[in-house]
Chains A and B, each alone.
Chain A
Amino acid sequence: MKAYIENTAYEFNEGETILEFVRRIEKNKNAIPTMCQDDRLENFGSCRVCSVEVAREKDGLTRIMASCHTPTPEGLYIYHNTDKMKRLRKNIVELVLTDYPTYKILPSEGKKATPFQETIAQIGIPNIRYPEGKNHFDIEPDKGHPYIKSDLSQCINCYRCVRACEEIQGEMILGMSGRGFAINIIKGFDTTFDESACVSCGACVQTCPTEALTDKFETKTLIADKTVRTTCTYCGVGCQLDVSVIDGKIRGIQAPETAEVNQGHTCLKGRFAFQFYDHPDRLREPMIKKNGKFEVVTWDEAYDFITSKLIEIKNKYGANSIGGISSSRATNEENYLMQKMIRVAVGTNNIDGCARVCHAPTAYGMQQSFGTGAATNSIEDLKQADAIFLFGANPVKGHPVTGAKIKQAFMKGVTSIVVDPIKTKLADLATYFLQIRPGTNVAILNMIAYYIIKENLVNQHFIDSYTEKYIDFKKHVETLDMSELEILTGVSKELVRKAAIAYAKADRAMEFHGLGVTEHFQGSKTVMLLSNLAMMTGNVGKNGVGLNPLRGQNNVQGAADMGVQPHQGAGYLDINDSEVQYYYAQKYGVEKMPEFEGLKIPEMLDAAIDGKLKALYIMGEDTIMTDPNTNHSIKAFKNLELIVVQELFMTATSEMADVVLPASSYFEKNGTFTNGERRVQRVNKVIEPIGNTKPDGQIIIDMMSRLGYIQPTGLTYDAAKIIEEIADVIPFMKGLTWERLGENGLQWPIKEDGTDTKMLHIDGNFKKGIGTFHHFDFEESPEIVSHGKKYPFILTTGRELEHYNSGTMTRRTDNQTILNKDVLEVYPRDAKAKGIEDNETVRVFSDRGSVNISIKYSKNVKRGVLRTTFHQPEIFINLITGSVGDKETMTPEYKVVAVDFEKIK
C-alpha cells in the first residue's frame, strides 16, 4: 500500500491517517501543524490547521482534507505544505487570535512556550486584519480548586480538555455549552472545578494547548533545570511520571505520553500530591528515644545503638527473637536487601511485609491453582476482553488509571459483572451487579460455578487438557443448595445465573480483584475459587482473560518477589527446603541460612505479647495504624525491647520506636518498583536526599556491615549493581539489568536474553505443570459467629481516591484539602432507626473498642452494612477491627467487622 508525499511514494500502514503517515515518514511530529489533535484522543477535526491538499494523480486537481481524521487511501498524492495550505493555516490562526489575548501570543518571560504558542510560531504570527469585535476576554478565572485553575479567556475551544475528561479519565465533568461563537467550556452543571464532581486527574490540564487550564504548579510552562522520568509510588498501576526540577526542588509533574503503562495519564496522587517530599514534618535526622523523648543523634550513634541492642538481644534470646517488617513502598532493591539483612545478617526468617495485610492470599491462592502468585495478563489486554469480571475492588479509587480504563470499557458496553458489598461507580455501570453481604465471597463463587456447570457452559477441552481435580470440584458444587446460598449472599439466584452465563459465554473474560477478595477469613479460598472459574471456562493463557489482582501498593508485587515473606525467599523458593537453603547460602556468600520458616506479622505481634519476640526492625510501615485491632498491636509493641523504624514521617508506629531513622523518599533515590502486571520499572533519583536522610537501601547496607555482613555490591547503595545480584538470585529475573529496563520496564519472567513476558500460563501451560481445582464450602467468619449477635452491623473498610492508605504522604499535600475526613457510610433507614441525622457524629464500637466518626447517609451500602476508610489518624478505625484473618495466610479480615453504632449522648 503506497501513497505519495510531495510526489514520492511511501508505504503506509492500514488505517493510518494522512497526519500519522506524514509524521512517520518525515520523522517529525510537527510536519503538519495541529491544535485540536492529541494522539491519545479520538480524531476530532475541529481546528482544521492540519488540512492538506490531496490529489488522485500526480500534480492533479486537488481537494482539501483535514489530515488528522482522513485515512490514507492507496495511491493518494499528498501535498501538505503548499502556499494554499500555508495561507489557510495562517488565516485560521488569524481568526483564532481575534478572540485570544494578545499578550499570550508569545511565551511569557521565563516561561516555556505552550503548544499553541509553538503552533502560532510554526505557522507564522499573522497580522490581525479584522476590526475589533466580540470576544471572551471577560470570562472570570476559576481559581477555587486546590490544584486546577481555569482562565477561559485564553481558551481556543479545541475541546481537548472535554475529550480528555471523557476519553482518558472516563468522566464527563468538562463539557461544552452553547453553540457557534458562544460555545464555552463548562464544568459539571456550569459550576467551578471545586464544586463539580471533578476527580482532579489533571488530564485536561495536560492536554490543554494554552494556559486556559493550568495546575497550581504551572507545570506546562515551567522551564525546568531537568525533567526526570520515574515511577509513581502511589499504587500498583505503576504510572510513569516526568518530574520537573528547578534549583533542586520539585516544581511539577506530568505524565509522559510514551509511557506504556499510563500513556500520558495519571491521577491526582501521581500528578499533584508530591508536596509531602519537603514538608516540614519530614524526618530529617536520626533520633533515639531517651527518657521517653526523641533526641537527635548522628547516624553513627544511631547505628551503634541499634547494632549493640540487636546483638545483645540475639545473644540473649536467639536470632528468632528478632523480626523485620519491610515496605511495599520501598524499591525492589531495598526490599531485597531488607530480607537479606534479616535472613543473613540477623539470621532468622522472621521477615514479612505489608502484603500480609493485603494480597498475601492472592499470592498463595494463585500459587496453589496456577503455580504463580501474580497477575496472569497485562492491563493492555483490557482492549481484547469481551467480558470483565470485577470482584471486590474499586479501581476507580484505588487504581485510578486502570480504573479509568475499566470504567470506559464498562461505559462502552462490554459485558461487565461486579461483585461487591458496596455499590461503587463501576457497580452502577455494570451489566450485572451482585451486591453480596460482606464475607460471603465463597458462597457467591460457588453459586456462579454451579450455574456454569448447570448451564453446561464449561470448557471441557481446557479442563481435560490442562487441569486436575475438576471432578471433585464439580461434585461438590452440584451438592450445594442454591436457595440457601441465595439467602446467605443476599443476591437472587436468577441474577447470579445470568451473570454466570454471561461470564462463561464470553469469548474472553478477564477477571480483576482487589482486597475485597483477600482481606477475608476465606481470602485464599476465594482466590482459588476465582482461579477455578477461569479454568473451567478456559479463561487462562490467552489475551484478554486471566486472573488479575489489582495490587495495592506500588511495589507489593516486588516485595513478595524479593522474598519479603517468612516462608519463601527471593524468587519464591521454599526456605524450608535444604537445597534452597544451600542455594541462597551460595548466592549470598554465607555458610548457612536460617532453617525454619519465620513468623508472619500477626504471629510476630502475638509472639511479642508472649515475650518470645524482643525486637522489631521496621522499614517504612505504619503497623500500628494499618494493622487491625490497634490495642492488640500497641500491647505487642510495648512488650518489645527494641523497635527500630525507618520512616519519612512520625507515625503512630515511629512514635513507639526506640530509634527512628530518617529515610529518603522515592524522589530521592534510584531503584525499581514492580507493578501489578509484573512490570519492573525504574525509579530514578529526581533530587538529592532531603536533610540528613538516607535511602532505605543505604541504611540497610550500613546496618548489615555493622552486623558483620558486607554487601558484595559495595558499601554504597547502587540500584543497578543490586539488580545484577537480584538477577543472579531470582531464576525468573535472569535477564534483568538496569539498562534493559529502559523507559517502560520489563515484565517478568525475564529470560536471560532480556525478553520479557506479557502473559503467563500461555495455552494452558501452567507454571506448576497442571492447573489445580480446589473446592470449599462457605464458612461464616468467626468474627460474625462470635460477635454477630451482640454487634449486628457489618463494617467494611476501603479507600478513597484522594488518599494513599494511612495517608502519611497524601495528608501532607493539598489532597487533604479535597478530602479531610473519614466518614461512616450508613444506609439512611438504619441511621434513622437510631434517631441519627445525616452528618452526625456517632460512636461505632466492636468487641475491641470504639471510635467516634461522623456518618453519611448512603444507599451505596445495603441495610446492615457500614463502610468507612482508614486514612485519617484522628479516627483510627483499626481500634475496632478484629484479629480474624485468612486461614492460610493470616491476612486480616478488614472487610468484615461486627460492630454496632449509637448516638453520642
Chain B
Amino acid sequence: MANKNIRSLSFRKELKDNLFENIANLSLKNASKEDFQELAKRFLIDDSVVVGTASFYDFTREENRNKKIHICSGTACMTAKTQDNLYKNLDNYFAKDEIGHAACVGRCHTNNAFMYNGNTYSASSPDELEQILPSPAQSRNQENDYNIGYNTTPILTSKIENITSFYSLAKNFKTNPQQVIQEVKASNLRGRGGAGFPFWFKLDAVLKEINTQKYIVCNADEGDPGAYSDMYLMEHQPHKVLFGMYVAGLTVGANTGILYIRGEYPDSIKKVNEAIIELQEKNLIGDFKFKVIPGQGSYVCGEETALLNSIEGLRPEVRVRPPYPAQYGLFGKPTVLSNVETFANIHWILENGGDAFASLGTKQSAGTKLVSLDGFFNKPGIYEIEMGTDLHTVFHEFGNGFKEDIKAFQIGGPLGGIVPIHKIGDLTLDFESLNSNGFLLGHASIVSIPSNFPMIKFLEHLMEFTADESCGKCYPCRIGSFRGMEMLQKAQNDDYKIDRILFDDLLETLEIGSLCALGGGIPLPIKNALQYFNEELQHYFTSN
C-alpha cells in the first residue's frame, strides 16, 4: 500500500486537526504559499504533499480559487440544455473567469442549476436570477423542492416522530454485536452505492479485526450526476443515516463516524451538522463522535478507497485491493464504509427484524430503493420503490410520464447503462433485472435523454466526464478516457471518422484494464449506445 508514511503522519492529528480540511480551508481562502508551507511543516510532511492534494480538487486547485459561482455541468442539466442560457444570463453579474463548474449540484429535477455563496439554486430566467443575485447584497436561500413518494412500506421516507425514542432502539443492541449482524444478515441488505455488496459482511469483517481504533465512514459523496437520493436522506432524514452509523459503530467497536459529504451539497452538510449537534445536545449517542468532512469537487472520491485517501489529506487516488477497507481503511485502520442509503435502512431492520426487510423486494434485492427522477418527468423527484417494481410503473405512476419525447435513459449514473425507451417495459427495479439485460441499477438515478439530443454528444459527455474526473493513476483511464474524448470531439468537429476497431480496443482496454470502476465502467453505457443507437452513431465511425 502506497503512502504509508504520509498516512501515518496525517493520522497523528487525525480528525481534530485534519490535514484535508486544513488544505481545503487554505485553498478556499486563497492562502499564501507560506501558509501552505507552514501547514506542511506542522504535519512533518513536504510541500509536494500539500500541493499535490490541493491541485486535485475542483474547488481547491489554484486556477479555480477565484471562482465566485459554479454552474452545474451534470448530465441532467446538460440533456435539459438549460446551462448555455444560464451562462449567458450570468454575464451581467460575473466576469467569465469568475464562473466555474460543479459536476451536478443535485437539482436534476429543475435544472438551470448552479452553486453560489454556499447555496445551490435553479434559475431559468434573468428575472429569477435577479431574485437570487441581488448585487451586491447577500443572496437569499431558495428551497430545493421536489416530489417525494413511495409505493410500499416506507422505510427511508417515513417520518421520525421523536428523535429520543428513535435512538433508544440502539440500547437493545448495545451489548450484542452478533445480534445486529444476524439481523442485517437476515435482511439481505446490500450496499446502496451501486456495487450491492452484502452489508452484514462488512460489519462482521470489521468486528473480527483486532484494533483499538476503528472507523465508520459514510460515503456521502453522491457524485453520479442525476442522483440526489442521498441528498434527500441527508437533508430530510439525517437521523436515519446517523443512527445506522452509530449502531454500526457499537457493533464493530468504533467510536467515530465520518460522513464524507460532497461539497456540491452545501445544504446536506448544514443539515447533517445540525442533526449531529442535536444528538450531542440530547446526549443520545454516548461518547460516539461524528465528523462531517466536506468534499472539494471530485467524482472519484465516491470510490471508497479514494474517499479514504481524501479524508486523510492524500491525493484521492484509488488504492489497490486487497487490503480492503475492513482491514486497512481510514488511516490504515479497520473501517466500515458504506453508502448513505445503506446506513439509513438499519433502523427499520433492527426495529422490524431482518426477515421483515427481506420479505420486501426480490430474493436477491431486498428492501426498497430510492429512485431519482430528472426534470424531463412530469413529476420529478425522489421515490422510494420496492425492489422488483416494474420500471414502467415507476416512470408513469410516479414520474407521471414525460414532458418531451425521450429516446433513452441513463440509469445509475455515468457508469450506468443507456437504456433505450423501448426496453423499459422489460425491466424491473432491482440488481438482477438490469444486470441481466446489460445495464446497471447503480444508485438508481434516472437521467432522460430526449429524442433531439445527439447520442454522439452524450458519449462525448461521458468520456469527457471520465477524463475530467479520472484520478490519473491507472493508464487506461488516464490516457484512454482522454483520447476517447478527443476522438469523439474530433468526429463531430472535423472531417474525421473514428476507427471502429481502435475504439473497440479502447473500450476493452478501459473495461478490463482499469484499476477502478470509473475507467472500468464507462464502456458499458457507450457499448449500450453503440448497440441501440447504431444508426444514429454509425456515420461517426469507420465501417470496419
Contacts and interface: CB of A to CB of B under 8 A. Distances in A.
Interface of A: 41-49, 51, 64, 66, 69, 71, 84, 87-88, 91-92, 95-96, 98-99, 129-131, 133-134, 157, 159, 163, 166-167, 170-183, 186-190, 196-197, 408, 411-413, 428-429
A745 to B, nearest CB: 29
B509 A95 contact: yes
6 contacts: A88-B512, A131-B490, A167-B4, A175-B49, A180-B482, A189-B51
A181 B467 contact: yes
B483 A130 contact: yes
B496 interface: yes
Contacts of A190: 48, 51
A45 B476 CA distance: 11
A45 B320 contact: yes
Contacts of B44: 411, 428-429
B5 to A, nearest CB: 4
Interface string B179-201: 00000000000000000000000
Contacts of B499: 129
Interface string B479-502: 111110011001000001001001
Interface in B33-88: 33, 36-37, 44-49, 51-52, 55-56, 61
B421 to A, nearest CB: 33
Nearest to B513: A48
A222 to B, nearest CB: 28
Nearest to A65: B512
Nearest to A51: B513
Contact of B56 (A157, A172, A179): A179
Nearest to A92: B475
Given A45-B474, A92-B475, A188 B2 contact: no
A71 B505 CA distance: 28
A92 B476 contact: yes
Most buried by A among B3, B5, B469, B478: B5
Contacts of A130: 483, 486-487, 502
Contacts of A186: 48, 51-52
Given A46-B515, A48-B513, A189-B37, A179 B471 contact: yes
A188 B513 CA distance: 32
B472 A181 contact: yes
B48 A179 contact: no
B476 A411 contact: no
A48 B514 contact: yes
A180 B483 CA distance: 12
B475 A95 contact: yes
Contact of A88 (B5, B8, B52, B509): B509
Contact of A180 (B36, B52, B321, B472): B472
Most buried by A among B55, B486, B508: B55
Most buried by A among B320, B481, B487: B320
Given A95-B480, A179-B56, A413-B12, 8 more contacts: A129-B502, A180-B470, A180-B471, A182-B472, A186-B48, A186-B51, A411-B44, A429-B44
A424 to B, nearest CB: 13
Consensus secondary structure, chain B interface: helix
Contacts of B321: 69
Interface string B445-488: 00000000000000000000001111111111011111100110
Contacts of B469: 179-180
Contacts of A428: 44
A183 B5 contact: no
A181 B3 CA distance: 21
B483 A95 contact: yes
A783 to B, nearest CB: 35
Given A64-B512, A98-B483, A130-B483, A159 B4 contact: no
A411 B474 contact: no
A172 B483 contact: no
Contacts of A48: 474-476, 513-515
Given A157-B472, A178-B472, A412 B4 contact: yes
B95 interface: no
A175 B482 CA distance: 22
A95 B56 CA distance: 23
A91 B505 contact: yes
B137 interface: no
B479 A96 contact: yes
A157 B505 contact: no
B476 A95 contact: yes
A183 B46 contact: no
Interface string B311-331: 000010000111000000000
A172 B45 contact: yes
Contacts of A181: 467, 470, 472, 478-479, 481-482
A47 B471 contact: no
B284 interface: no
A131 B514 contact: no
Interface string B291-325: 00000001010000000000000010000111000
B475 A189 contact: no
Most buried by B among A188, A411, A428: A411
B431 interface: no
B490 A96 contact: no
Contacts of B512: 51, 64, 84, 88
Contacts of B468: 180
B6 interface: yes
Nearest to A166: B5
Interface in B200-246: none
Contacts of A157: 472, 475, 478
Given A96-B479, A179-B470, A88 B513 contact: yes
A29 to B, nearest CB: 21
Contacts of A411: 5, 8-9, 44
A175 B48 contact: yes
A48 B512 CA distance: 9
A43 B298 CA distance: 24
Nearest to B47: A189
B90 interface: no
A134 B464 CA distance: 14
Most buried by A among B4, B37, B46, B480: B46
A44 B320 contact: yes
A48 B515 CA distance: 8
B486 A134 contact: yes
B502 A46 contact: no
Given A45-B474, A172-B49, A181-B482, A166 B490 contact: no
B51 A131 contact: no
A75 to B, nearest CB: 17
B469 to A, nearest CB: 7
Most buried by B among A133, A171, A197: A133
